Structure formats: C-alpha cells, structure tokens
Structure 1
Amino acid sequence: MKPSLTIKELTAAVGGGITPRMVRHYHQLGLLPPPKRSPSNYRLYTQQDVIRLQKIVALKQQGFQLNHIRHILAVELAADTNETLMTQLQQQYRSVMQQISQLRQTATALEGLLGRDQDCQIMQSSVLAQLKLLEVDTQAGLGELNQLWGKLDAQVHNHSEVFPEALQRLLPDLSARSEIEQHLISQLVLACGDVSLVSFLRLSNRAIAVIREALKSGCEIIVDIPTVAAALDHTRLVHLGCKVTTLIDNPHISNVAEAEQAFCQHQEWQTKLLQISPGAVVVIGYAPSVLLQTCAAITHQKIQPALVIGMPIGFSHAPAAKRQLMEQQVSFITIEGTLGGGLLAATALNALVESLIDKPHCHCYLQNSLAGK
C-alpha cells in the first residue's frame, strides 16, 4: 500500500460503503484525527488511518452509535487497561438503556392511542382533541393528562380487545411478505408485546416452505426443555402425525440457567442431540449451548434437520449462537440479539402449524394419542 493515500483511495481501501463525505463528517466528530496535507492541500492518509476507519465501520455494523465509538477509540488511544474500557462500555450501556427506557415510555403512550379499536374511537377523538390543548410542563398539566388516560382506560371494560385492529396500526408495512409470514410476525409480536421484534426477526430463504413440507410429512419436533414442549399446539401436531421429543427431558428444569447448566454437564443429552432424525424440526427456546452444538453438528454433517427455530436467551452465547445458525446450510427462523425465549420459539412453530390446518373442535386426536402410550 502507498505510504500516503488520498481520501478516495482511503475509502476504496476500507470499503463497507464509506464515502469521502462520511470521512469528512468523522473528522468533524473527532472520530478521525486531522490528516496531513499535501502541498496542494489535499488530505493525505496513512495505514493507521485505514485501520482506524475499519474499526469505526466494524463498530457501526455491530450497532454502536458514533458518539459511543468515539469514546471507545479514545480509551484505546489512551492505552488504558481493559478494566477501564469495560467500565466505559458499562457506562455507555447504562446510558443506552436509559434512552431505550425513555423511548419505550413514548412508544407505550403511542401504542395506547394507536392501539385503540373501533369501539373506543368516539372517546379517543375527544381525548385527542383535549390532548392538543394540554400544557404538560407543570404538575397540574400532568394530572390532567392522567385524567385523559383514565377516560380512555374506562372504555376497556366494555369489550374484549380487538388485536387485529391494533396490529394494523402498529406493525410496519408487511405487504411485501407472504400472508403466512405476516401471520407469523403478528403472533410473535402478540406473544411478547414488543413491535420492535419485527426488525430482528430473521428467516432463511424458503424457511416457511421447508417447515410446512416437513410438518405435512409428519416430521419429529425436537425441543430443548419441557417448558417449550408444554407451549406447543399438541392438538394440531398430533393431527399432523408429528411426535414431540424433549431433548433435556428433566421436568424440574424450567429456566434458561438450569437448562444451560444441565446440557453442558450431562453427556447423555449432548449424545441425544446427535441422534436427531433427518428432516426433524428443532425448536430451541432457552439454552444457547444447545443451539451452538446443533450448529456444530450440522456443520460436521452429523445431523440433518429440515429447519431450526433458534431463539435461546442469553447476553453473549445466545447472540453468537444465532449468528452461527444464520451461517449454516440449513433453513432457520431466529431473532437476532438477546431477545428470545421458549414462548416465542413455541409461538413461531404454532403459527406455522396453524397455517396448515384448522384446530379440531374436539381433542380426540390428542386423546387417541395419549391412550396409545
């Protein structure tokens, strides 16, 4: 590489969609140090500038905001200890969580208005008209605002909540997605009450088609712990001929910490994972290690599931496991990051099962199955 690079050569060397305009913006924010100048007053950059800009790009891709990146790089330049950097990151995390909390409060208020159904419209119109006149900077104004919420909340006793109307106003535009995928998204949002989940849901190409074919063929369903199995739509699954097998079949294990520890400490369940039948659907809602070992087994062609629903809980291993799942040559449904859980994993499977058959009015299929055991 040349000892000195122009700004265009710098952006070409770094890649990642970086433009000269972005580089100049990073100079203004203090993310990049002032460059040297040529006799013709052109900016000149070094290999160190390339490395620094690559770090900025990588941190941005991981979700860090520019002001947080500046702090991280400042600590790095100061040759501080890892402990100091971890303290800095912890402070930034708390700041971000406070911002999220404030935004969540705003979102909750908006959901409280937008999520109202037709039966609340008359009262809602009156409240909205009064809302525009409120001065909420004073304590008295806040009291008036609470009174308005009280008027709206009084209406909820008159009828059950109409979820489709609320979702129609709150969900982003899903018109480009199939009807089945729209139903899947709606059910997941209703399961956790968080519309932001839509941004983190990931499905592989043809995932829905693959799992529907597997379910119609009566595939085996493998779940990580009994809590996930309990949340499945057994009536429909029995009707389809799908057997549910629990990997960690200890009824006393009911949370992520217990599931993670049990799987790591007991070879029998690790061996059981390698015995998953070809074409099975694997549903993981708790233990990150189960998903990590599932990915490893797929990579080494020890198991060949039709699809993996990978939604374990965790703050380091779970996001890593989900990233590994998305790199596998297997169909998958997952939620990026820490968000997940057994209810969401079971809901994903149930939504797709529901798209295949109506639920029988009786439980005769389930009763017949239990009688045969």
Structure 2
Amino acid sequence: MNSRPHIAIDAMGGDEGVRVMMAGIAEARRRHDGLRFKLFGDEARIKAALDNHPNLRAASEILHCDGVVDGNEKPAVAIRKAKSTSMGLAIQAVKKGDAGAAVSAGNTGALMAMAKLALRTMPGIDRPALAALLPTLGANDVVMLDLGANTECDTRNLVQFAVMGAAYARVAMDLERPRVRLLNIGTEELKGTDEIREAAAILRGHADLAMSFDGFTEGDKLASGEADVIVSDGFSGNVALKTAEGTARFVTDLLRRAFTSSVRSKIGFLISKPAMHLLRHHLDPNVHNGAVFLGLNGVVVKSHGGANATGVANAVHVAARLVEENITERIASDIARINTFGKAEAVAQ
C-alpha cells in the first residue's frame, strides 16, 4: 500500500473555477491529512485561493502553466496543447511517477484522449472504460461501466470491463466478491446481442475470479441494489446514466412543485422535511462524484464540471483510495487470469 500519495490537480478545470477546486482539495485533506498535491494552473489565481486554506498550502506545490483546455475543445486540439495545459501536465505528472493520480473537472473527451495517449492501456486491456459509483436502494452503491468512453464494444471488451469493475468495487466498497451483471434487454440467457451472451458465457466459466457473476440485469434494476457492478458498452451505459439522472431531477422537481402548490402542501412539506433532506442527499451527484478511467497505466479521475467543494473532495478521495489500494495491480492480476480466454479462442479457431 502506498503512503502519503501525491495527487496531481488540474486546478483550472470545471465550471466553478479555481476557488471551488481549492476548497474541495482542502476539504479532502482535512479528511485525509496524509495527502499531498501538485497544483497545475495559473499560479497567481491558485495562490489567491490558497490564502483561505492554510492547511493546504504546506501540502501543495504549485506548477504554473498558462494553457487551459476549453470545455468545448475537441480532443484532437487538446492533445496538441497537452504539454502547455493544466490538464495535460497533471496527466504527465502521473506518467513520470511524480504523482500517483490525476484529478480534473475539465472536458471529459479531452481528458480521456490525453490520458489514453500519455498513459496507454495496461497489458491485457484493449480499451479503458469510464466507471462511476451510482446510488442504489441497497446497502451499497453500484459501480457502472462503461459510461461513454467506448460506444461500440466486443466480447473481450465487456469481459475486461467486468474484471476492472469488480476490482474497483473491491476497493471502493470493501467487497470480497462483488456481484457482477451485464446490462441487457432481458434476464433470459437467450436475450441480447452475440457479444453480450458470449461475454456472459466466459464470465460464468471463470469461477476463479474475485467476483460473483449473476447474469443479466435490465435498465429498471440499476438502482435496485441487486448488483454491485453493472457492465455495458459505452453507448448504452451513457444513455442509461443520463436517463437515471434525468429521472432523479424529474422526481425532485415534481415533489418541489407538489409541496408548493397550496398551503396544505406547504404544511405537509414542513412535516416531511427530514425525509426530503435525506432524499436530496441520496440523489446529490456531489455525494458520488469522481468517475474513473479504468485500464490505464495510472489513475485518472474525472470530477463533474459543476461539482461543489464537497464533490471535488469526494473525487480526490476516490483518487487517493485507488492509489493506496494499488488498483492497477489488482486489475492486472485478474486480467492475467481472464486472458486465458483469448488464448483458448485462438486455438479453437
């Protein structure tokens, strides 16, 4: 286990600016005082923001750079500027071994492209996947991947995503054998594409992995708590995620309207306020902030662009935990087992 991990921070990313990024990092360090940071961005603005966080100044090194990746910038353009932007330099710090992980709230596409180019995929991994923790009705959150990094996936990709997701769940939720399911249009074995059915067959045949493969799940069961890891191609996963987020906003907005529609409703709101507060907390994206690019030779965490200080702190905490628990080594160990499938398939052909 690594001690006192260094985290590289893209201080210029995100909608809320340097002030919120520094407030979030300071909050993360109050929770975990062993953390140290390399802050990439405009030195003057970072120093001004640090004036409000004396606990952070001694634990941080500022590395000035003028370049910033715009929120709408195309990945190809961002890559060409990688050596002069706060996002690119934060990733380079991981590549050089100067930091154990990088955290950015900037452009997701640019971050994915830069990270993949600089860090490369791990041996045995064909494509990295974007994974995140989502709230459920069960005792634990659920790890879902891929959430948009790969719109089309073959059987090997889905199997590898399952292995990576299970490794992440073991670290993030302290589970010995996470329950893994593939997102499908039905739970019957004959449902779904050839790729999904073949991936299920492979995972069923690998009882030696540190996971419990439980077959298929449907979109209406994402938040049921019946699975610890849900695996999908990036297209379906992103659609499912955005649908779930939209439904959560719809429900909360509908309740808000209902509780303000009359005097009696307002009285009812006062009575149910504690329950409403619990619901709001459970659905708050800041509570589950911090998506991870799994499968790279290094840890890169994406914070939501609109995250508040608590959300940023949670993203930093995710990065630190993955470094401390050696997530890349865990994935490599499991992938070495599962890749016997590739060799067996080649012999069969």
TM-score, length-normalised on structure 1? Answer: 0.25
TM-score normalised over the length of structure 2: 0.27
Of the two, which has the highest radius of gyration? 1
Q: Which has the higher contact order (CA 8 A, sep 6+)?
A: 2
Query: More strand by proportion, 1 or 2?
Result: 2
